[in-house]
Amino acid sequence: MFVIAEHSGRCREDGLNKEEKRIMTLTTGSHSLVHLFEGVLPPLIPLLIMEFSTDYFHLGLVMTVFSYAFGIGSLPSGYMADKLGPRRLITLYLFGAGILAILVWFSGALIHYGILMAGIGLFCSTYHPASNTLLSLGIRQKGKAFGIHGIAGSLGVACVPLVSAWIGSALGWRAPHVLYGVIGILVGVYSLTIPRYPAARIKTEEEKAEEKSFSVAYMNLVFFFLSAMCLGLTYKGIMTFLPAYMGEGVRIAGFEFGKVAMGGTVATIALLSGAIGQYVAGRGVDRMQAELLYLGAIVLGGAFVFIMAAASNLVLVVSAIFYAFFYFSTQPVQNYLLSKYLPEHRHGLGYGIHFSITFGVGSTAAAVSGYLADLFGLQSVFYAMGGCFAFAAAMAAVLLWRVNRRFA
């Protein structure tokens, strides 16, 4: 197994040693960046509609193609993380996605842009299984590590509407892609300084005994993955059209921004709370039952999605803030639960399945949401995603019941 060494006399129980810090630096930076690649398109939708003379459905289709590549590629990536080492896959993602993002500068038709976005999604697909494997096996305090890692991802998700919208408005829609590509290559160079595998540590007799007696509760995994799939649908449906929805639904007296800038700015303000949710959940998962925390976050997040569907202006902004807090708080809990439900030598495969379902199946929501938006308006997207939240909550409730029954 490749887990981080505990160097006697050189690290404290509540701190990180040198190698752990380097792993955290790489994964947090790469996590923010992967969500910049993923979220660059939605804030630019008004500009892309004019550039390519297209509509919501076709741009939603581009997001679906990106997301299918992003998700489906996670499955073999999880297997490769167990076989080749997670750091190598992170390096592959950084250089591959970075180069293709720079090539977006030369795309002159929607089909060319769609192909490049699909390629970027495929390279990005290696990241989540690899990084979560690296963290679950390489960091001693897993809940805290997943929380910090999640915060970095949430900051990327939150910042991309603002950064992409303002840069796109000022320098053209291609400029944000190129900027993120250059950053990806630079972080890729840094990744080469980190060993292929973290150092191994000697396990205690108690840990060896636990590993031999480990049994997988497959039905728990079924209900977990069903809930994760539904949350993946809500994520892609909401995040694809949130900036456009904010641009149409929020008007602030005295601030006369265009729809692109307004939507990106307000979406970023709302999504910043997701980083707080990641931190709170990451700390809480080490202190309370993870399944109960998971269910509570889903129920509350879904309630605020329904409010968003019926709200405008201040109420819309406030409900979006609470939606982001509770939705993103589910992510470190999901990562923790998988590390709990699976043996160490299957973590990569487990995370691969997880992100393949979340981003792969979940990507369907981008095109479907675009179709709904064209027919019934952007408001309908949020009602539909609220329904997905409700199903995810039902699956999480069954999971909680099964776990508690087992230990009763």
DSSP characters over 1-39: -------TTT--TTS--HHHHHHHHHHHHHHHHHHHHHH
Could you count the other beta carbons within 10 Å of the beta carbon of residue 154?
29
| C-alpha–C-alpha distance, residues 400 and 224, integer Å | 10
Backbone angles phi, psi at 343, to 5 degrees: -70, 160
Burial 126-140 (b: 16+ CB within 10 A, else e): bbbbbbbbbbbbbbb
HSE-up of residue 216 (Cα within 13 Å, Cβ side): 13
Rounded-to-10 torsion of CA 282, 285, 287, 292: 140
Of 221-235, 342-356, 376-390, which gets the smallest average pLDDT?
342-356
For the cut 80, the answer to whether the pLDDT of residue 59 exceeds it is yes
Could you count the other beta carbons within 10 Å of the beta carbon of residue 304?
23
Rounded-to-10 torsion of CA 45, 46, 49, 51: -100
Q: Provide the pLDDT for residue 12.
A: 43
Q: 265 and 393 in contact (C-beta within 8 Å)?
A: no
Q: Provide the pLDDT for residue 306.
A: 96
For the cut 60, the answer to whether the pLDDT of residue 281 exceeds it is yes
Show the tokens assigned to 59: 């741009």
Residues 299-309: what's their mean pLDDT?
Answer: 95
Give SS3 for 150. helix
* pLDDT classification of 70: cutoffs 50, 70, 90: confident
Q: Provide the pLDDT for residue 156.
A: 85
- Give the relative orientation of helices 174-191 and 142-171 as an angle to the nearest 10 degrees: 140
Q: Percent of the chain at pLDDT above 70?
A: 86
Q: Give the residue carrying structure tokens 């160490």.
A: 344
Residues 6+ apart with CB under 8 A from 293: 281, 284, 285, 329, 333
* pLDDT classification of 205: cutoffs 50, 70, 90: low
Of 22-31, 313-322, 331-340, 355-364, which gets the smallest average pLDDT?
355-364
Looking at residue 252, the DSSP 8-state letter turns out to be: -
For the cut 60, the answer to whether the pLDDT of residue 26 exceeds it is yes
* pLDDT classification of 208: cutoffs 50, 70, 90: low
Give SS3 for 114. helix
Show the tokens assigned to 364: 């369907």
Of 17-31, 110-124, 389-403, which gets the smallest average pLDDT?
17-31
Share the mean pLDDT of the chain: 82
Residues 206-226: what's their mean pLDDT?
Answer: 70
Which numeric CATH code is attached to 20-199+215-407? Answer: 1.20.1250.20
HSE-up of residue 82 (Cα within 13 Å, Cβ side): 16
Give SS3 for 254. coil
* pLDDT classification of 390: cutoffs 50, 70, 90: very high
Of 130-144, 226-240, 252-266, 267-281, which gets the smallest average pLDDT?
252-266
Q: Provide the pLDDT for residue 8.
A: 37
Q: 114 and 340 in contact (C-beta within 8 Å)?
A: no
Show the tokens assigned to 139: 């960091």
Residues 273-286: what's their mean pLDDT?
Answer: 83
* pLDDT classification of 131: cutoffs 50, 70, 90: confident
For the cut 90, the answer to whether the pLDDT of residue 327 exceeds it is yes
| C-alpha–C-alpha distance, residues 327 and 296, integer Å | 10
For the cut 90, the answer to whether the pLDDT of residue 78 exceeds it is no
* pLDDT classification of 240: cutoffs 50, 70, 90: confident
Q: Percent of the chain at pLDDT above 90?
A: 30
| C-alpha–C-alpha distance, residues 301 and 21, integer Å | 32
For 139-169, what is each residue's pLDDT tens digit? 766 667 777 887 888 788 778 888 888 899 8
Of 29-43, 211-225, 330-344, 383-397, which gets the smallest average pLDDT?
211-225
For the cut 50, the answer to whether the pLDDT of residue 54 exceeds it is yes
Q: Provide the pLDDT for residue 6.
A: 37
| Pick from 62, 71, 115, 47: nearest CA to 369 | 62
Give SS3 for 201. coil
Query: 160 or 390: whose pLDDT is higher?
Result: 390
Q: Provide the pLDDT for residue 199.
A: 46
Residues 326-333: what's their mean pLDDT?
Answer: 90
Q: Provide the pLDDT for residue 197.
A: 59
Residues 321-333: what's their mean pLDDT?
Answer: 91
Residues across the chain: 408
Q: Provide the pLDDT for residue 138.
A: 67
Q: What are the structural domain ranges in the chain? A: 20-199+215-407
Q: 305 and 382 in contact (C-beta within 8 Å)?
A: yes
Q: Provide the pLDDT for residue 130.
A: 85
Q: 270 and 320 in contact (C-beta within 8 Å)?
A: yes
